[in-house]
Amino acid sequence: MTGGIFLLPGFTFVLELIGFLLTLALIAKFPLPQLRKAMNDRANHIRNSIESAEQARAEAEALATERRQQLEHARAEARAMVDQANQIAEQLREEGRQRGQEEYERLVHAAQGEIELERQRAREEVMGDVASLVLAAAERVVGAGLDDARHRALVDEVITAAEAGTSS
């Protein structure tokens, strides 16, 4: 065995320990702060990215909600417009029906007036023809012409009788 106590460190061990501690001190002095800074920067960047993503998600949800509300509002307006158009169409249809009914009634009334007028003309014409026939028959029966006053009285009498007969 070579000299030395097993539990006591040797000179090489002390030199290795000093070299290790110096290396550790140099690493702690120069690369470690830069590494920590890079890690902190990276963590901040990740944190900012997450916050930005959360904010963008919140904005997207808000925009989606707003878009849904606008869409519902537009649908409601469209429904209201369709309902209004249907009401206007129904109103116009009803007005057209009423105008048609009024025109029908006007035409029927006018036709009834024309019919009554034609009936009156026909009655007058028939009365005139009857008066002529009665006068001709009376002249034949009497054999001689009647004077004007007697003629008028006979015509009036015949017309009155004819009117009474057609009225009933």
Which of the 8 DSSP states describes residue 34?
H
- On the question of pLDDT at 137 being above 80, the answer is no
Tell which residue, 168, 155, 167, 161, has the closest CA to residue 120: 167
The CA distance from 49 to 51, in Å, is 5
The stretch 66-88 carries a mean pLDDT of 95
Spatial CB neighbours of 162, under 8 Å, sequence gap ≥ 6: 126, 127, 130
Question: What local confidence, expressed as pLDDT, does residue 7 receive?
Answer: 64
- On the question of pLDDT at 86 being above 60, the answer is yes
Question: What local confidence, expressed as pLDDT, does residue 153 receive?
Answer: 78
Per-chain mean pLDDT for the chain:
86
Highest mean pLDDT among 52-56, 137-141, 156-160: 52-56
In the chain, the percentage of residues whose pLDDT exceeds 90 is: 60
Question: What local confidence, expressed as pLDDT, does residue 3 receive?
Answer: 58
pLDDT category of residue 1 using cuts at 50, 70 and 90 = very low
Distance of alpha carbon 104 from the chain centroid: 33
- On the question of pLDDT at 103 being above 80, the answer is yes
- On the question of pLDDT at 132 being above 60, the answer is yes
Question: What local confidence, expressed as pLDDT, does residue 163 receive?
Answer: 73
Question: What local confidence, expressed as pLDDT, does residue 149 receive?
Answer: 76
- In the chain, domain spans: 29-167
The stretch 108-134 carries a mean pLDDT of 85
Question: What local confidence, expressed as pLDDT, does residue 8 receive?
Answer: 66
Question: What local confidence, expressed as pLDDT, does residue 5 receive?
Answer: 62
